[in-house]
């Protein structure tokens, strides 16, 4: 691209002479506007104006050159204008020039200049030419928020431009006016439409910050809407018990107390439970009320509200006793100290006597005396016989021998 300045000639031919008296020493002032805060790719328009020395003047013609930096700007429209017998009042616009900031143009100020000659009655007029300034800035890249607020609620956590997820709660409203200000005023902010049409429960609202270069950053708010329920809604949401009874058991029931403890004997393997909900249309189920084991058992009473939005659980801890067995008592359940002393002394005495008796009884001479068998003394027996022919010789010998032994 050619560097330097390009000259734009705006030439208006000879204008009418004589309609208004024009003085050769009258001075006309030509001015060109500027532009502020434009970036590469932007298009903008400036005005070229002229002002005469008096309230009403006639300008026959002019020849003007526009000077600008072609590395930063390009003229799109308004390069030439012509006029005949131009009447000049306080400020008369003689041209509108449309520019475009070149892509890649460096940030900073660039000048627009007017140079040329004005004519009155065919003679050059000593006119004044004022320039303008175009301020070019860089394309924005910041996608952060400077602030984020929702009326009548508090964000959690507190706002920080580097934190992108928040929660908040509102009550009995249908919409919220979210205040989201970008750090870069040239960035744009877009908020999802559901912020203006809140539903009961959690509403996920998204805030999108878009920088001039097209980059984006998303902030999210989980906004919970609580709605005060009507009496009918409260009834449909009721998942509590009105009464709870257990056959054979006494409990102090309260709808807000959710846990109870009872003991049953070994023969009890289930309970007879009556659970009455506050709302007769609520659903009640009992779980675990069968086949109790010895020790702790858990029975749960679940209550689900009519609209299914809530549920409550009441718990009964049932302790089943162990089986009772018959016990044979061999000694008193409770023994006094005196009885223990007598029992111990008797046991020691019996043991001592046993040792002593055993000692004496085991001696040989004592045993011989006690257990030696005494022999009976034989007495001769007179035998009567009916015959003298009986032989008694053997009998006499035996008797004689026996007496010899005794001697």
Output the domain CATH number for residue 239.
Answer: 2.60.40.2340
Whether residue 34 is found in the same domain as residue 125: yes
| Cβ proximity of 292 and 270 under 8 Å | yes
Which pair of tokens denotes residue 119? 């004519």
Report the pLDDT value the prediction gives residue 243, as an integer from 0 to 100.
Answer: 95
Most confidently modeled of 295-299, 340-344, 345-349, 376-380? 295-299
Strand locations in 84-191 (E): 86-88, 92-101, 108-120, 123-125, 128-130, 132-136, 145-149, 165-171, 179-182, 188-191
Name the DSSP letter for residue 371. Answer: H
**pLDDT exceeds cutoff 90 at 267:** yes
Domain-embedded: residue 216: yes
Task: Give CA separation, 38 vs 44, 73, 114, in Å.
Answer: 8, 11, 21
What is the average pLDDT score of the chain? Answer: 81
Most confidently modeled of 111-120, 190-199, 231-240, 377-386? 190-199
Please spell the DSSP secondary structure of 213-246, one letter per residue. Answer: TS-EEEEEEEEEEE-PPPHHHHHHT---EEEEEE
Please spell the DSSP secondary structure of 3-66, one letter per residue. Answer: -SB--EEEEE-PPPSSSS---TT---EEEE--EEEE-TT-EEEEEEEEE-SSSSEEE-EEEEEE
Report the pLDDT value the prediction gives residue 53, as an integer from 0 to 100.
Answer: 77
Domain-embedded: residue 12: yes
Higher pLDDT, 400 or 17: 400
Domain-embedded: residue 340: no
Does this model's pTM top 0.75? My answer is no
Whether residue 241 is found in the same domain as residue 185: no
Whether residue 117 is found in the same domain as residue 13: yes
Whether residue 13 is found in the same domain as residue 41: yes
Domain-embedded: residue 62: yes
Question: Which segment of 196-210, 214-228, 327-341 scores lowest on mean pLDDT?
Answer: 327-341
Report the pLDDT value the prediction gives residue 269, as an integer from 0 to 100.
Answer: 93
Nearest residue to 151 (alpha-carbon basis) of 226, 223, 201, 208? 223
Which phi-psi region, left, alpha or beta, contains residue 319 (left: φ > 0; alpha: ψ -120 to 50)?
A: beta
| Cβ proximity of 85 and 130 under 8 Å | no
Whether residue 199 is found in the same domain as residue 312: no
| Cβ proximity of 344 and 336 under 8 Å | no
State the average pLDDT over residues 174-200. 96
As for how many domains the chain has, the answer is 3
**Distance in angstroms (rounded) separating the CA atoms of residues 314 and 303:** 8
CATH of the domain at 161: 2.60.40
The whole domain housing 150 covers 145-226
Whether residue 172 is found in the same domain as residue 207: yes
Report the pLDDT value the prediction gives residue 3, as an integer from 0 to 100.
Answer: 40
Domain-embedded: residue 70: yes
**pLDDT exceeds cutoff 60 at 247:** yes
- From 136, 163, 194, the end of a domain falls on 136
Whether residue 14 is found in the same domain as residue 103: yes
pLDDT band of residue 318 (cuts 50, 70, 90) is very high
**Distance in angstroms (rounded) separating the CA atoms of residues 176 and 153:** 10
- From 75, 101, 136, the end of a domain falls on 136
CATH of the domain at 97: 2.60.40.680
Tokens 């989201």 found at: 180
Report the pLDDT value the prediction gives residue 56, as an integer from 0 to 100.
Answer: 72
Whether residue 12 is found in the same domain as residue 28: yes
Domain-embedded: residue 364: no
Domain-embedded: residue 287: yes
Higher pLDDT, 11 or 279: 279
* Residues 6+ positions from 376 with CB-CB distance below 8 Å: none
State the average pLDDT over residues 136-147. 96
Question: Which segment of 82-86, 184-188, 301-305, 387-391 scores lowest on mean pLDDT?
Answer: 387-391
Nearest residue to 238 (alpha-carbon basis) of 311, 135, 134, 152? 311
State the average pLDDT over residues 246-265. 94
Report the pLDDT value the prediction gives residue 110, as an integer from 0 to 100.
Answer: 95
Tell me the per-residue pLDDT of 22-33, one tens digit each, with 9 for 90 and over: 333 457 888 999
Question: Which segment of 58-62, 139-143, 311-315, 392-396 scores lowest on mean pLDDT?
Answer: 392-396
* Residues 6+ positions from 156 with CB-CB distance below 8 Å: 166, 167, 168
State the average pLDDT over residues 307-328. 87
**pLDDT exceeds cutoff 50 at 406:** no
Whether residue 189 is found in the same domain as residue 114: no
Domain-embedded: residue 379: no
* Residues 6+ positions from 256 with CB-CB distance below 8 Å: 240
* Residues 6+ positions from 173 with CB-CB distance below 8 Å: 152, 198, 225
Whether residue 222 is found in the same domain as residue 239: no
Which phi-psi region, left, alpha or beta, contains residue 23 (left: φ > 0; alpha: ψ -120 to 50)?
A: beta
* Residues 6+ positions from 236 with CB-CB distance below 8 Å: 279, 305, 306, 307, 309
Which pair of tokens denotes residue 133? 């300034």
pLDDT band of residue 398 (cuts 50, 70, 90) is low
| Cβ proximity of 224 and 170 under 8 Å | yes
Which pair of tokens denotes residue 369? 């005396």
- From 226, 252, 279, the end of a domain falls on 226
């Amino acid at each position: 691209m050619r560097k330097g300045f390009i000259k734009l000639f705006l030439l208006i031919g000879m204008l009418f002479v004589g309609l208004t008296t024009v003085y050769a020493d009258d001075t006309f002032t030509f001015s060109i506007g500027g532009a502020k805060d434009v970036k590469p790719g932007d298009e903008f328009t400036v005005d070229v104006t002229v002002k005469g020395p008096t309230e009403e003047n006639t300008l026959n013609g002019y020849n003007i050159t526009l000077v600008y930096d072609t590395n930063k700007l390009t003229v799109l429209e308004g390069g030439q204008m012509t006029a005949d017998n131009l009447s000049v009042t306080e400020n008369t616009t003689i041209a509108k020039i449309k520019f475009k900031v070149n892509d890649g143009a460096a940030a900073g100020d660039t000048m627009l200049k007017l140079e040329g000659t004005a004519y009155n009655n065919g003679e050059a007029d000593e006119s004044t030419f004022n320039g303008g300034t175009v301020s070019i800035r860089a394309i924005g890249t910041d996608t952060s928020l400077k602030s984020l607020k929702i009326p009548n609620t508090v964000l959690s956590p507190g706002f920080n431009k580097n934190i992108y997820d928040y929660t908040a709660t509102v009550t009995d409203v249908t919409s919220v006016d979210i205040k989201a200000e970008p750090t870069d005023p040239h960035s744009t902010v877009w908020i999802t439409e559901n912020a203006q049409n809140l539903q009961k429960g959690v509403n996920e609202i998204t805030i999108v910050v878009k920088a001039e270069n097209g980059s984006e950053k998303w902030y999210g708010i989980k906004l919970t809407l609580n709605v005060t329920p009507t009496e009918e809604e409260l009834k449909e949401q009721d998942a509590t018990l009105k009464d709870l009874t257990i056959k054979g058991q006494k409990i102090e029931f309260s709808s807000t107390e959710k846990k109870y403890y009872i003991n049953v004997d070994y023969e009890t393997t289930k309970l007879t439970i009556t659970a009455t909900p506050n709302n007769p249309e609520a659903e009640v189920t009992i779980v675990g009320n069968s086949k109790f084991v010895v020790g702790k058992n858990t029975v749960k009473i679940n209550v689900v509200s009519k609209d299914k939005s809530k549920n409550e659980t009441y718990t009964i801890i049932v302790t089943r006793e162990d089986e009772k067995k018959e016990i044979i008592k061999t000694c008193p359940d409770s023994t006094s100290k005196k009885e223990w002393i007598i029992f111990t002394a008797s046991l020691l005495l019996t043991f001592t006597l046993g040792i002593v008796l055993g000692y004496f009884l085991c001696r040989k001479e004592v045993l011989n005396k006690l257990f030696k068998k005494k022999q009976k003394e034989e007495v001769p027996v007179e035998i009567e016989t009916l015959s003298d022919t009986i032989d008694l010789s053997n009998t006499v010998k035996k008797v004689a021998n026996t007496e010899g032994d005794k001697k």
